Amino acid sequence: MRPDLPLFSSNRFSRNALALGAAAALCAGVLAACSSGSSSTNNNSSSSGNTSNSGSGKPIVVGASLSLTGDFSADGQAFQRGYNLWASDVNKNGGLLGRKVEIKVLNDASSPTQVVTNYQTLFASDHVDLAFGPFSSLLTGPSSAVAARYGYAFVEGAGGAPAVFNTPSNQADHNVFDVSLPIKDEMVPFVNWIQSLPAGQRPKTAAYPMANDPFADPPVQEAQSMLQALGVKTVYSNIFPAEVTAYKAPADQVAAKAPQIVVLGSTDVPTVAAFMQAFEQQHYTPKLFIAAAGPDQGAAFTSAVGKGNAAGMMVPNGWYPGFANAQSQAMVNEYVAKYGGSPSDVNADVAEAYAVGQVMAQAVTATKGTDNSKIISYLHSGVTLSSVQGPVKFDSLGENHAAAAFTFQWQDGGKAFNQVLPTGDTGSKTIIATKPAWTS
Amino acid sequence: MARQIYEAIVDGILTGGVYALMAVGLTLIFGVLDIINIAQGVLVILGAYLSYELSVRAGIDLFVGLLITVPAMFIIGVVIHWAFLRRLRGRERTSMTLLVTYAVALIVEGILYKVWGPNYVQLKASYVNSSVHVFGFYLPYIYIYGFILAVALIVALYTLLYRTRFGRSVRATMQDETAARLVGIDVNRVAALTFGVGVAVTAVGGMVYGATSGGFNPNSGYDLISRLLAIIILGGLGSIGGALAASIFMLTLESLVDIWSPNWAIVVFYGALVVVLVIRPTGFFGRQAVRAQ
């Protein structure tokens, strides 16, 4: 009998090691499931380090926690660029109330627990003057409660899930302000367009795979209930874990059902890319394919999936690089000049972050200071503010109901990202009503 | 429903091959060195990035590129062992390796962010998104190739360990390190080379993972490590064949549960680990099973 693997001698192998390994696997699994960013590096401040309190002549320090590593790192770093771009513009024009603006960013590694710690640090230890939100509804919910406790106005651009506004802290303190489009209704233009089609041309079947995320599910569930009311039969509706390792099986199941419409509750590019890849491997092309997030990521999306495959992919949003808004165009030009690429490469996250800064700046200017209670009152006063994403007007819970919902589509073989819905809007292009076949 | 079940089984087997490619290095390193290499997931991603770079910059086919990435990862593995692990001694060594390899993971992740940034990339080739029609199923070529590679790699590792002088040194070192030293085996060199081999095979897993996932970025390794650890424990720590068997078992089980509830699939994945360990604490091919041979 020869010794075989496992190659342990009895004195080397120990039950302790097995137990340690099992514990490590289970802990890692639990951590991965509960906290995608638990593997974060230490916090990093990207500011020059001035964390002084407000005072005449001293910089206004704005604190934010962003996902510079972890699952949301692509979005988090795009957000950081947006915040920095805004601060740079403000400082070029003399600052806010004559004071320079500094952005102090702590890395939350995409972790809902780390983001809470970060804001506690920013508020209780660093005593920042103002607070900007993190990326994603998943992180905005828990961190907004910290902001409420410390009395900060929490202006954010990527926390549009209903769960963010319905937190007890926001219900009590009304301190959350989302400058972007409320996500629940963002697919309504798409459904309205389906409804506008002659009955004979309307798709008959639809699938609704959804990543387990507060951002991804509400718009898809809303679209599902509306499409069902129109007689579109649901052939698949399931929530799957928001982990890249878990996408293939649900994607294959959707492909097997071959629905005419796929409404994907995605959180990022890999989610959409995994579904697209599985569909192509299964020789299935949906007639219409709309995803909650991913196709709005500009070059980050097309470089992952290929321009040819991007053609026909749709995504709802409140902003796009070609948005006919002077402030937006200026920001896009500035971004391209600073970071390179072309306008269609500019990530929507950049505009969301930039708009956060703009809204806060208008509130600070109007209240003539950084008193957060005055800022909260001002933002709830019914005033309409301007931003690169268009008008901003908050309701009592901080949702921006002045934001317009658009649907965008990759067209011209994946080279152009065009607004296609609502039809008839300025700059709206004709929708590609049947997604072109995969091109790999 | 029957078709869905068949499809899930085929999916599980093919995906299991991909996971085996990523897990085999991990189990080899633990089996030989008692090192729980938490950096394995990040090293998989490093392997994927090396394949990406060769493919995008030099136009080298993903499989041909392995001729470069495997030796490169071997060198990286030897360097990591030399720099971080060779000095670890004593009773707490295994638990210390958890911390040290976690630190290695953070360092490698930081370098990946610096070099490639946070945006997701995907490996592309003509066979990545295409498939062959067999018995009514579309089987993606990349998964088929990945499965074949997994089997070939396991055969190659067995050959290395049982048909070469180096393999004999490795096995001797594991059975009794002191005795191995006494007969003239350079134990430190064997350890470094073994770690290098364990990391080298990760290049293969990284390439296939990079081509089969929807995209990867420097952080993607953390989604993998928990699954890989579960697989090697279930297969029997140190068992190379066990890694393949466990991969197929876990991924097939997950794929089947996925038909009814994707959210429960991941619970069942880790639940299966607990159940199997309660019934058979050494995993599928653990030490007791070997002794019975």
Q: What is the mean pLDDT of each run of 10 residues along chain A (440 residues)?
A: 38 47 50 37 35 61 94 90 96 94 95 94 96 95 94 95 87 91 90 92 95 89 96 94 78 93 93 94 96 88 90 92 90 93 87 97 96 96 95 94 90 91 84 90
Question: Roughly how many angstroms between the first and final C-alpha of chain A, as a whole number?
Answer: 52
Contact B221, B105 (CB under 8 A): yes
Q: Is A424 on the interface with B (CB under 8 A)?
A: no
The pLDDT, as a whole number, for residue B127 is: 92
Q: Cα dist. A194→A53, A230, A296, B7 in Å?
A: 53, 9, 21, 32
Residue ranges covered by each domain of chain A: 60-182+326-379, 185-317+406-421
The pLDDT, as a whole number, for residue A7 is: 39
* Closest CB to B8 among A4, A31, A249: A249
Contact (CB<8Å) B238/A6: yes
Q: Is the dihedral of CA B214, B216, B222, B226 positive or negative?
A: positive
DSSP string, A92-120: HTT-BTTB-EEEEEEE-TT-HHHHHHHHH
The CA distance from B1 to A257, in Å, is: 11
The pLDDT, as a whole number, for residue A2 is: 38
Site of tokens 């097939």: B252
Q: Is A212 on the interface with B (CB under 8 A)?
A: yes
The pLDDT, as a whole number, for residue B291 is: 37
| Residues in chain B, pLDDT under 70 | 286-293
Contact (CB<8Å) A438/B217: no
Residue numbers in B near A24 (CB within 8 A): 36, 38, 98, 229
Q: Which CATH class is domain A185-317+406-421?
A: alpha beta
The CA distance from B127 to B123, in Å, is: 11
The pLDDT, as a whole number, for residue B238 is: 82
* Closest A-chain CA to B106: A41
Residue numbers in A near B13 (CB within 8 A): none
> What superfamily in CATH does domain A60-182+326-379 come from?
Response regulator (3.40.50.2300)
The CA distance from A376 to A360, in Å, is: 10
Nearest Cα to Cα of residue A378 among A356, A391, A394: A394
- In A100-129, the residues whose Cβ lies within 8 Å of chain B are 110
Q: Which ipTM value was assigned to this complex?
A: 0.83
Nearest Cα to Cα of residue A160 among A401, A427, A357, A412: A401
The CA distance from B270 to B266, in Å, is: 7
The pLDDT, as a whole number, for residue A118 is: 96
